[in-house]
Structure 1
Amino acid sequence: MKNQTVLNAIRKICKGQPVKVTSQGKTITVQARRKLRDLQREIRLTGKVEDGFLQIPLPEARVSVLTKDSTVVVDSASMTRVYGANMRLIGAYYVALVNGGEKEYLVRAQMKGYDDVWQRVPITNLTKEEVTIPALKMHRMRKVDLDEVLVTATRIKFFYRGDTLIYDATAFRMPEGSMLDDLIRQLPGVTMNNDGEIFVNGRKIDELLLGSRSFFGGNKKVLMQNLPYYTVKHLKVYEKQTDMSEALGYDVEPRKYVMDVNLKEEYSKGYIANVEAAAGTENRWLGRAFALRFTDRTRLTLLGNANNVNETRHIGESGHWTPNNMPRSIMTTHSAAAEIAYYAKGDKLKETLRAEFTSQTDEQTLRQRREQFLPSSTPTSLTESFSRQGNRRLSLHNTLSLKDPTWIYTDAVFEYVQRDGSSHSDFEQWDDSLTATLRSAGINEGITWRGQMNVQGAFNLGENQRVTFITIVEHNEEALQQSTAYKQTLFSQGQVTRNLYNADDISNRKTWGSANISYRRELGNRFNFHISDNLSYTSERNHDYLYHPDTLLLVSQLDALAAITDPHNSYNSYGQITQNSIGASLYRTDTYRYSDDNPFTIQYDRFKIGISAPVRQERLSYQRGALDTLASQTTLFLNASASFRIMTRDGKHDIRFNVSHDRQAASLMDRITFRDDSQPLVVKLGNPNLNGQVTSRLSGNFYPGYANQQRYHLSISFDYHHRDVAQAVTYAPVTGVYTYQPMNVCGAYTANTALYFIRTFGEKRFWTMSTSADASLHHDKDHAMLAGETESHVNTVNTLTLHDESFIQYERSTLNLRATGDFSWRHSEGRMFDFAVLNVLDYRYGLTARYTLPKINTTLAADATMYSRRGYGSTELNSDDFLLNASISQPFLKDRLFARLESFDLLHQLNTTQYMVNAQGRIETWYRSLPHYVMLHLIWHFNKNPKKK
């Protein structure tokens, strides 16, 4: 090329080629352009448009796509409307096809009455066929002329958005002073037990989140009892990906079923604080404080609590004041806790440090009646006891989670506990006449500490492959001293009395570690293969030295221990367990979408089959009196599981089946030949012929789609125990001594079925009805024999339980009325010739009411319930108890100060009972519960938001 500069010559040569020629000084650069197929490749841009304040869809919006030089590429993107329950619009999604050659696009949303919204969309990954754009949030113009209209609306309490159930917290009229737990109890389809476990349409919530983030280590009660209801905007229920799945970009673990508490915008940053003080009759008192400070990146939580009222239920809020779930002790608690959390942008890094201290005293009084099912005999024992247990616990917890560039999780825990206690009891053993009595008194004290370190990680290994690892190390130690004085009297051969003092020095040291590595690969056609190996090691040292002093003293207070040692009931043991388990599974994924026009799909496991082969080696060195042995056992089992899930393409119906077969080895300690008669009237034996457990499980669940303001859930399950371990009992009528020994039983099973149904009806949906019915059949087997017999008898008892809990509720504005009913019938039949058929019936019915007077905002609440019991062996338990509770509350100082006067059990009727039947006998237990009392609460709320810049 004559008369051409080098630069121009190169440009002519490269003309038409996918390269770019540039020069800087004497340097000429030839750079390859993106491939032509990349320039021609179409990319789908998707997103949604909504009102930025109301968060409602805006399907009338016009969405355009432009290049960065403002050239219009797509004038009006196609818009898809997504509908939920009752054809309520829950989403407006747009789709636009653009050329992959551009590095960046601009998306614009326009609508009459709204300001334009722009969103920059960088194209950074040409291999992706779809780019999801953050929601375009449009805001109304500052000045818009509107015609005058009168609008009357009824707020919808809950609706579905895709696979998410959303409760609108602002649609519930709650009394001032209510907390999050009060609100949750009012949600349609939601139940909550006394342990704080939440169930939505019969399915248990795995975690309660605040703003899509874990709160206080997953402690639901801390959040529910301290967060004011008025700060909540939405409660969302959905299946959430785990952090590992989010980091790797696909589901690698089962999703968690969560309830996500979303705060109103004005409470999403700043401070929230509550202080409560209460005093009542019967020397009842309470004080607690809660403070929460949070931003987008940090969260600080402080709380303190002191009370002697171990009661969290609220008058007029639920129908759970049943005798069997009343508090079973009088507990005094002093506690303080703090948590600080940091979140990097996009939650790619999360770190949480939590410290807790609790001092607690628990006093329990009980009376128990127990019948033993034996051939030609039904011995009955009566027990009355009192115990006081105190403990002081310090806990430190630090977690760190990293999601980018790979997933790393660490968890460090340290706990320290001091305990002390005392007890006394009176025991009587009856056959045809009084056989024996036993009086006892005891004291104890001990220290326990534990440290644990958990490190987990996962990363993608090339395309469609993944490796995960888990390493856990834990060490704990316990030192316990206890002393008991016994006075035993036998009446079978005259009246013989024996006094005995036991002092125990107990120690346990345990070190445990586990390492797991797994590999997963996609096989194509949505099939996946997963293999894992888990190696664990456990080392444990125990000793229990028993001494017989001549008075009630702890071991640390005794001298000359060798002279008072009981060698036959003292032991040393050192055990080691090494287990390696290899597992493999094959599964296939599938997808569904809530609308044919909805571009977004949801992935789930359609079926999964898996096997695991644990190899377990155990060694135990055991010394007790003249017994000094070294035992070992090696076991290899093959466990299997399978699951199958059917989802309709629109996601409206969900059917799930699970089946598993599991084998476990018997405890090597239980297989040692030993005899422990340290406690009067009780002897414990080992069993060298003991085998392990073999269990098969089958379960199924049906979740039909939500329609016509109703929903139901059907479940079934069946557990079959091919072989199980039970504590066989031998009874000596002459001495009243019970001898216990682990033995195998075969053929026990349990079958369950349950139906949950809820429906909202009426033109304005003021009415709600719900029923939760379940039935279970328990085929129980156990061993029992009389002293002198050469062979134990296998007792078989079938117990059929029918249960139903229903309510119908009317709620309009601040008026809430609920009629409740509940019955539980247990029918037990034994295959022993002298077994009397048992029919026990517990039922209740009642009414709860709550109303807030307009203008003055005074809230009145009451619940009245009749509890009835029939068929108990103890006549004092066959009773009718009428429970009446009432409260009145009033807000002051613009709802910042709140006063509530409560009265529990106005008629002094309620106590706590528990009933149990199995193949060995039946047990009826009465517990002392909180006394009736009246209490006045004063609660102060405070919140502060940062000033807008």
Structure 2
Amino acid sequence: MLCTAESSFAQNVTVSGSVEDEFLGTALGDVHLSLHESDSTMIKDSLYCTSYMDRHGNLTAYQYQTSFAPQENRTYFIRAVKGGYGDVWMPFTVTDKGKNLNLPAIKMRRMLEKALDEVVVKATKVKMFYKGDTLVYDATAFKMPQGSMLDALIRQMPGVTMNDAGEIFVNGRKVDELMLNSRSFFKGNRKVMLENLPYYTVKDIKVYDRQSDMSRALGYDVGGKSYVMDVNLKQEYNRGYIANVEGALGTKDRWLARAFLLGFTDHWRFTLLGNLNNVNESRHIGESGNWTPATMPKNMLTTRSVAGEIDYHGKDGIVKNTLTASYTSTTDVCESRSRYEQFLEGVTPVSQTESFNSSGNRRWEVRDEFMLTKPFYLRVTPEFNYSKTNNRFNSMFDQWTDTLTASQRTRGFGEGKAWNGNIEASGVFNIGKNQKYLNLYVKAEHTGNDFESAQRYNTTQYVNNQQTVQHNADDISNRTTSGLASADFNMKLFKGVDMKLGERLFLYNTETHDYLYHPDTLVLASQIDALSAVTDFNNSYDSRTNVTENMVSISFSGKGQYKSMPNSPLTIEYQRWSVGVNVPIRHESLDYQRGALDTLARQNTLFVNASASFRDVSDDGKLDFRAHASFNQRGAMLSDRITYRDDSQPLIIKLGNPDLKGFITSNFGMDFYNKKGKNQQQWHAGASADFYHRQTAQSVSYNAETGVYTYKPVNVRGAYMLKAKFDISRAIDRNRYWMWQTNADATLNHNVDYAMLTGMTESEKNVVNTLTLHDGAYIQYNKGALNVRATGDIRWRHSEGRMYDFDKLDAFDFQYGLSARYTIPVLNTTISIDGNMYSRRGYSSGELNSDDFVMNASISQPLFKGKLIARVEAFDLLHQLSSTRYEVNAQGHTETWYRSLPHYVMVHLVYHWNKDMNRLKHIH
């Protein structure tokens, strides 16, 4: 079988050889052979092999052959792997690109085995180990209930955490991409694979820094590597198809139906999936341990979607193409209550809002990616999407200080459509020798959206006992066209130092039409006959923005290397240091017309931005230190610098600021990874600092008599955020049944803003320091069919302000609980249960200071040899769970409650099947 290959601009060389038993000197068959770079990067996963038999069926020779385009005078490796034998790495060097190579026989040595009389030894599979710079998780070592998907497996892997958005972290480092058999999957949409790929199909999961396709095409490393998690399927699932169908019904009118089909041939991969549900929940009982009020879904979401992907990899990976299409329809219902307390000296305005919002969205999307790696690197990606939206909402707002100041009741609806089309292309060309190359990139994009909305405001101001009713109808349209072209020239400056020169041109044009009308009833603008008679010209505008930006850049970098294993001939190369500077020169113009205001504003900026990084890896690759720093500047938004007044909403006024300046920020960070511990111990520590030397904030002026807020963008200085984190995981016992893990972090947010009372001559500078300390930990016992995990999590937020009447704020969230999963032998019945206590203290809203005990349970039974899974799930048996959010900044603090998915019981039926095409083997 031929697999994906690295390509270059040199001509192909054919490499051949044979495999023998070192002791017997006889042919050795059924050996897996692969081709690798000198740093162990895989070029070909499986080499073409031929078995020769005599007339009695005995193996007489086992020979391999492969063709690839090498770099001259560069060392490569053939790797041979066979069960019961030690791995062999055979080096060879291509000195003449016009000559084929016949290598000496690969000699494989059988591993020593000792028989122990009257002693039964049962091996414990190692769940994780390092192979060079690759962290490998053996999926077969994890005992998961039948019917489990990939996400359940990943949550059990030591050192791995995963949030509800599907973001994966390994030892504190975020995974850039989740891949399937070393190939991208569904545009990087992790949830598709996580929720649909059965765990039993997975052989192992590898985590490593992946060389880019561009680097593979050039034949040497260029740019940075991406940190990937590579899911590798078992051999029997690499050719054929896998399919799942699931249906479920529950109480509270809950329902779910979904299907998944994944098919493989030697060069093609087909994926088709459909999903219909009103559950909005992907966590699993007894597995995730993260059923916290803060992470509960904040809405009632109904989803109807279908998507498909066709992926083609040609011979030797020279041509690749991926076509993806999808349709998604959602209905989203959100109900919330929010309490906001503003920080002002001498007075503390408090507001409370209750809102209900229902929205719908339909989206169509199609995308194609074509890639060519020979005779040069070329990537072309066209994409188009179209969506239609609608929404209905109503809210109740009350504002008070010592007494009730203002109230507002709002209801409305809206509808709109949006579309986007873009195409991007990149090409890379070697220029002579010595690793010089030119990288070209172009992108063109057009976006349009149209939106109409209608609102009815019923406002009462109690100081002057005034009540008003106002109807708004908004008509908003936007058209944006942009283009980007860049060129980078890369070369080796001298030994160990690379240089990169870059040039980028960016063009941008956008036209906006935003008009407000005041009809006498709740109606959309398109339904009004005489628009001019009800137009609010002071709150309506037309604008046209043009941007031209030219950026030049230069950077230098150096490389380091380390051994994959102490006595291994393989070395791993990495970027040891880099420094770079970029200079964006930007010209902006804004033609703006609003009521009597008709102006043409311009802004020209030139900035110097810089970045640097350093990395040092120990000789054995077990210790890894990384540091980075950056300094960045950018201009203010030109639309914020227009002198305008927007009072389209009662109780809210928005102003522009012609004196507004741009942003200046700097960032520093460092991380240290240690993989040297015993019992699979690995730990990571990191720290970062973000300094906002100048940024834009919305200054707030509050009128205590009318309850009106006035917002104006202003510059603030001196804000910063400091972060530190530490995470460690380790097996406790020698058999690795017991595992513990902790993830601790601390954040200090020094927030700066401005606020003032109406009538004051200048804004008061508000400074609030919020310290957040958090630690989450678990201890787990996992042996065979039994998994028990005890969890604990605590988060403390302490806020102090510099105002004389600022009351210190202390909010605690803490959780502790237990989850368990057990599969009954013979019956294969799996019972899962988790119970957690969630407690909150220090909230201003008394109803949020509570203790909520949340219990979930499920039971599943495989039928028909595991092809059919029946499962019953019960969520929130005690009816305790809701969703909350707590935020503090320099202007105030907000506490928000959301209605969550109600408790329910659900019955699932899941059917799995697959067909293995690899059983049809031919012996040559």
Match of 1:676 in 2: 646
Deviations, residues 328-358 of structure 1 (Å, cap 9, x unaligned)? 0000111111111111122221101111001
Match of 2:909 in 1: 938
Match of 2:789 in 1: 818
2:250 aligned with 1:305, yes or no? no
Distance 1:148 1:825, change over 3 A: closer
Distance 1:477 1:337, change over 3 A: same
1:641 aligns to what SS in structure 2? strand
Out of 799, 803, 816, which is 2:770 matched to? 799
Out of 619, 634, 639, which is 1:664 matched to? 634
2:104 aligned with 1:133, yes or no? no
2:738 aligned with 1:767, yes or no? yes
Distance 1:745 1:137, change over 3 A: same
2:194 aligns to what SS in structure 1? helix
Divergent runs of 4+, >6 A: 45-50, 58-65, 121-126, 138-141, 145-149
Identity %: 51
Note if contact 1:47-1:133 (Cα within 8 Å) is conserved in structure 2. Answer: no
Match of 1:293 in 2: 263
Letter matched to residue 214 of structure 1: S
2:905 aligned with 1:925, yes or no? no
Alignment of structure 1 residues 486-565 onto 2, 5 Å: 486-493=457-464, 495-565=465-535
1:456, CA displacement in angstroms?
0.6
Letter matched to residue 920 of structure 2: K
1:470, CA displacement in angstroms?
0.8
Alignment of structure 1 residues 306-455 onto 2, 5 Å: 306-455=276-425
1:525, CA displacement in angstroms?
1.6
Q: Distance in 2 between matches of 1:199 and 1:126?
A: 35
Note if contact 2:18-2:64 (Cα within 8 Å) is conserved in structure 1. Answer: no
Deviations, residues 310-335 of structure 1 (Å, cap 9, x unaligned)? 00000000111010110000001111
Out of 243, 254, 262, which is 1:284 matched to? 254
Distance 1:846 1:116, change over 3 A: farther
Q: Distance in 1 between matches of 2:27 and 2:158?
A: 41
Q: Distance in 2 between matches of 1:125 and 1:342?
A: 24
Letter matched to residue 948 of structure 1: L
Alignment of structure 1 residues 685-696 onto 2, 5 Å: 685-696=655-666
Match of 1:251 in 2: 221
Q: Distance in 1 between matches of 2:399 and 2:527?
A: 34
Distance 1:491 1:349, change over 3 A: same
Match of 1:457 in 2: 427
Letter matched to residue 721 of structure 2: T
Q: Distance in 2 between matches of 1:146 and 1:663?
A: 67
1:147, CA displacement in angstroms?
7.9
Q: Distance in 2 between matches of 1:489 and 1:211?
A: 63
Note the residue ranges of structure 2 that are not aligned, 5 or more in a row. 1-12, 29-37, 42-49, 53-57, 86-107
Out of 909, 919, 942, which is 2:880 matched to? 909
Note if contact 1:654-1:704 (Cα within 8 Å) is conserved in structure 2. Answer: yes
1:769, CA displacement in angstroms?
0.6
Note if contact 2:298-2:334 (Cα within 8 Å) is conserved in structure 1. Answer: yes
Distance 1:857 1:686, change over 3 A: same
Out of 914, 920, 924, which is 1:948 matched to? 920
Note if contact 1:279-1:937 (Cα within 8 Å) is conserved in structure 2. Answer: yes
Match of 1:76 in 2: none
Alignment of structure 1 residues 741-780 onto 2, 5 Å: 741-780=712-751
Deviations, residues 790-840 of structure 1 (Å, cap 9, x unaligned)? 100110000111100000001110100000000000110000111001111
Alignment of structure 1 residues 28-67 onto 2, 5 Å: none
Q: More displaced, 300-309 or 645-654?
A: 645-654
Distance 1:588 1:551, change over 3 A: same
Letter matched to residue 554 of structure 2: A
Out of 263, 267, 276, which is 2:237 matched to? 267
Note if contact 1:48-1:136 (Cα within 8 Å) is conserved in structure 2. Answer: no
Alignment of structure 1 residues 173-192 onto 2, 5 Å: 173-192=143-162
Note if contact 1:119-1:136 (Cα within 8 Å) is conserved in structure 2. Answer: no
Q: Which has the larger radius of gyration?
A: 1
Alignment of structure 1 residues 492-891 onto 2, 5 Å: 492-493=463-464, 495-708=465-678, 709-891=680-862
1:135 aligns to what SS in structure 2? strand
Distance 1:647 1:479, change over 3 A: same
1:594, CA displacement in angstroms?
2.6
Letter matched to residue 876 of structure 1: E
Q: More displaced, 339-348 or 842-851?
A: 339-348
2:283 aligns to what SS in structure 1? coil
1:221 aligns to what SS in structure 2? helix
Letter matched to residue 857 of structure 2: A
1:148, CA displacement in angstroms?
9.8
Distance 1:276 1:569, change over 3 A: same
Distance 1:349 1:125, change over 3 A: closer
Note if contact 2:17-2:64 (Cα within 8 Å) is conserved in structure 1. Answer: no
Q: Distance in 2 between matches of 1:590 and 1:279?
A: 57
Letter matched to residue 772 of structure 1: N
1:194 aligns to what SS in structure 2? coil
Note if contact 2:691-2:718 (Cα within 8 Å) is conserved in structure 1. Answer: yes
Distance 1:837 1:47, change over 3 A: farther
Out of 134, 137, 140, which is 1:170 matched to? 140
1:640 aligns to what SS in structure 2? strand
Total equivalences in the alignment: 855
1:873 aligns to what SS in structure 2? coil
Note if contact 1:117-1:137 (Cα within 8 Å) is conserved in structure 2. Answer: no
Letter matched to residue 688 of structure 2: S
Q: Distance in 1 between matches of 2:80 and 2:495?
A: 32
Distance 1:152 1:662, change over 3 A: same
Deviations, residues 65-96 of structure 1 (Å, cap 9, x unaligned)? 9xxxxxxxxxxxxxxxx9xxxxxxx99xxxxx
Q: Distance in 1 between matches of 2:874 and 2:22?
A: 53
Deviations, residues 685-711 of structure 1 (Å, cap 9, x unaligned)? 100000000001000010112330200
Note if contact 1:107-1:121 (Cα within 8 Å) is conserved in structure 2. Answer: no
Deviations, residues 636-676 of structure 1 (Å, cap 9, x unaligned)? 00000000111112211110010000001000000000000
1:253, CA displacement in angstroms?
1.9
Q: Tell me the TM-score normalised to structure 2 length.
A: 0.90
Distance 1:121 1:482, change over 3 A: closer
2:847 aligns to what SS in structure 1? helix
1:617 aligns to what SS in structure 2? strand
Q: Distance in 2 between matches of 1:329 and 1:810?
A: 35
Note if contact 1:49-1:59 (Cα within 8 Å) is conserved in structure 2. Answer: no
Deviations, residues 104-156 of structure 1 (Å, cap 9, x unaligned)? xx999xxxx99864335889979425242253658999xxx998974411111
Q: Distance in 2 between matches of 1:426 and 1:487?
A: 10
Q: Distance in 2 between matches of 1:138 and 1:882?
A: 50
Match of 2:208 in 1: 238
What is the CA RMSD across the aligned residues, in angstroms?
Answer: 2.6
Q: Tell me the TM-score normalised to structure 1 length.
A: 0.87
Match of 2:55 in 1: none
2:503 aligns to what SS in structure 1? strand
Q: Distance in 2 between matches of 1:534 and 1:686?
A: 31
Distance 1:933 1:583, change over 3 A: same
Q: Distance in 1 between matches of 2:132 and 2:61?
A: 27
Q: Distance in 2 between matches of 1:557 and 1:256?
A: 52
Distance 1:887 1:852, change over 3 A: same
Distance 1:139 1:883, change over 3 A: closer
Note if contact 1:49-1:138 (Cα within 8 Å) is conserved in structure 2. Answer: no
Deviations, residues 476-526 of structure 1 (Å, cap 9, x unaligned)? 100000000010001012x21100000010000000110000001102221
1:296, CA displacement in angstroms?
2.1
Letter matched to residue 885 of structure 1: N
Letter matched to residue 600 of structure 1: L
